[in-house]
Amino acid sequence: MFRDFTSELSTNLIDCFRGRNLLWHAAAIGLTFLLVTTGFDWWFYEVTRSPLFYWFVRFAGIGGFFLPVLVSIALYAVGEMRQNRRMQHTARAVAQAIIIASLIAAAYKSFTGRVEPPFAFVGTIDNSHEFNWGFLEYGIFWGWPSSHATVAFAGTAAFAYMNRNKALRMIALFYAIVIGSAAAIGFHWLSDVVAGMLLGIMIGTTVARYAERPSEPEIRTS
């Protein structure tokens, strides 16, 4: 099982850089360039930073990393108990999407080294243009793209693609929007989040398409 999982993981990771998926990367880069050079990133920062949002930002900052993992584990556990193969496949897809999203976001961050916006106070100097190009010039924790947004939208896209329950799909989408919004008004530039959203959707749908191959039987989740 572990070997199958890692094999699928490596295949899906490579597929994220093939064919039409490269257009998603190009869109993420292009929109970032537009938002940075037009000054929209800085404008958005100035109009959205407020101490009133700090509780929301901190909550989403923690939940953005742990909730997707917990959901995939819970899905798989319930699928095992019910002997529901589709639920198990959904859990595997969500888990793979989360892992791939984390890897791709970390890889981009290691080369772009974008400086994060001030969080504890409202900055007065526009540093939205600051990138530290190279390898590990600014670590992989902050920067472009937003890991929170990439992971949240990747997991959501994989889950929504494979799930037939509209209510659950809407809840998953709401979760991703909340995490992305919190990151955009808290510890990331808007363009970091937009890029993460695009990359996450691409990653999640790529993984889900692989899991949804015709050979897999259709089993309802509800």
List, for residues 38-80, the tens digit of each pLDDT value: 999 999 998 888 777 777 788 777 777 778 788 888 888 887 8
Q: Does the pLDDT value for residue 214 go beyond 70?
A: no
Question: Distance between CA 181 and CA 195 in Å, rounded?
Answer: 13
Q: Evaluate whether residue 80 is within a structural domain.
A: yes
| pLDDT confidence of residue 161 | 93
Amino acid at 24: W
| pLDDT confidence of residue 196 | 97
Q: Find the farthest-apart pair of alpha carbons in the chain and give their distance in angstroms, rounded.
A: 57
Q: Token pair for residue 111?
A: 């080369």
Boundaries of domain holding 88: 2-114+132-211
Task: Specify the range with the lowest mean pLDDT, choosing from 11-20, 81-90, 92-101, 126-135.
Answer: 81-90
Q: What is the pLDDT of residues 169-209, one digit of tens each?
A: 999 999 999 999 999 998 899 999 999 999 999 999 999 99
> In the predicted model, what is the mean pLDDT of residues 30-42?
97
pTM (2 decimals)? 0.88
| CATH number of the domain within which 110 lies | 1.20.144
Reduced to 3 states (helix: H, G, I; strand: E, B; else coil), residue 209 is helix
| pLDDT confidence of residue 33 | 97
Q: Evaluate whether residue 188 is within a structural domain.
A: yes
| pLDDT confidence of residue 4 | 76
Q: What is the pLDDT of residues 115-154, one digit of tens each?
A: 999 876 666 788 899 999 999 988 888 899 999 999 999 9
Q: Evaluate whether residue 32 is within a structural domain.
A: yes
Reduced to 3 states (helix: H, G, I; strand: E, B; else coil), residue 189 is coil
Q: Evaluate whether residue 218 is within a structural domain.
A: no
Q: Evaluate whether residue 53 is within a structural domain.
A: yes
Q: Does the pLDDT value for residue 216 go beyond 50?
A: no
Q: Evaluate whether residue 125 is within a structural domain.
A: no
Question: Distance between CA 191 and CA 203 in Å, rounded?
Answer: 18
| pLDDT confidence of residue 221 | 45
| pLDDT confidence of residue 218 | 43
Q: Token pair for residue 24?
A: 């998603």
Q: Evaluate whether residue 84 is within a structural domain.
A: yes
| pLDDT confidence of residue 55 | 78
Q: Token pair for residue 105?
A: 């976001």
Give how many domains the chain has, as a whole number: 1
Q: Evaluate whether residue 217 is within a structural domain.
A: no
